[in-house]
Amino acid sequence: MNENKENQMDVMDMQDEVRKAAKTVAHKWPNVVNADDMEQDIYLRLLESPGSVEKLLNDFSDRSRLNAIVRIGHEIAKIEREDYEIFMGDFRYSVDEVKKILDNRALIDLYELDEETNLKSSWGAYFSVSNEFENKVVEKVAIESDVRRAMESLASKNSRYAEVIQRRYGKEEVIPQDESAEHKRLGRALTALTKEMNRDYKRAQQNDGPGSRKPVTSQQARYKSKKNWDDESSEAVQRLMNQARVSGR
């Protein structure tokens, strides 16, 4: 019991890093996790790993410790998304995944940009090759069509966001990775595009019609109850959250 209390005190020494990491991860995984839930999940992970807590406190610099806790958060978010996929038969893009899709020339493959930066789809060219597709080609078309629809939706809501994404990933302009307003706008634009892609996919799933919902499986049932922690863990996390709010909020 004393060891548990000592571990909780050690975790509290990292409350600032935990809070910052939770916000960072929540920003990168929109529609999957929020900052408060992520903060609790990180605390729980640390409470369950006293050896890791000791190593983080003794062997890491402040910056390295924060980066390590952020990585823990990303691992939790990935598991959360995978569990949610099992539960809902759904899919979620993260900001980093959308960036990788765009880095792979999705906008260049999909669109021709006219002088007014309007979007013109060109992905139908895939269908002129053959009526039979390899699985990877089918997946590529599906993902890029998600990008196309999301970009069209984003352009109608925030043309400046759509424009900066088109410049960076469609025209391959170099936008310096600094603290400039342009770089910050690109970051916000990518988050907005990710949300649009997730909304579009969710709408598509909902439009499948009645009777498309599958019975709850044993894996889905485990997801429903996965956050019903044992009483001791739940109380420990709640104490940490309360202490963090009192000391830092």
Q: Is 158 found in the same domain as 59?
A: no
Q: Is 199 found in the same domain as 109?
A: yes
Q: Is 199 found in the same domain as 155?
A: yes
Reported as a pLDDT band with limits 50, 70 and 90, residue 40 is: very high
Q: Is 168 found in the same domain as 70?
A: no
Please report the beta strands in the chain, taking only residues with DSSP state E, as ranges in sequence order: 111-113, 119-121
Q: How many domains does the chain have?
A: 2
Q: Is 117 found in the same domain as 72?
A: no
Q: Is 80 found in the same domain as 139?
A: no
Reported as a pLDDT band with limits 50, 70 and 90, residue 205 is: low
Q: Tokens for 75?
A: 């691992």
pLDDT of amino acid 174: 87
Q: Is 174 found in the same domain as 71?
A: no
Residue 216 lies in a domain: no
Reported as a pLDDT band with limits 50, 70 and 90, residue 178 is: confident
Continuous H helices in 89-134: 95-103, 106-110
Q: Which residues contact 126 (CB under 8 A, 6 or more apart)?
A: 133, 137, 141
Residues 57-86 pLDDT 10s: 999 999 999 999 999 999 999 888 877 765
Which residues span the domain enclosing 171? 95-206
Residue 225 lies in a domain: no
Which of 90, 96, 50 is closest to 70 using CA atoms? Answer: 96
Residue 211 lies in a domain: no
What pTM does this model have?
0.52
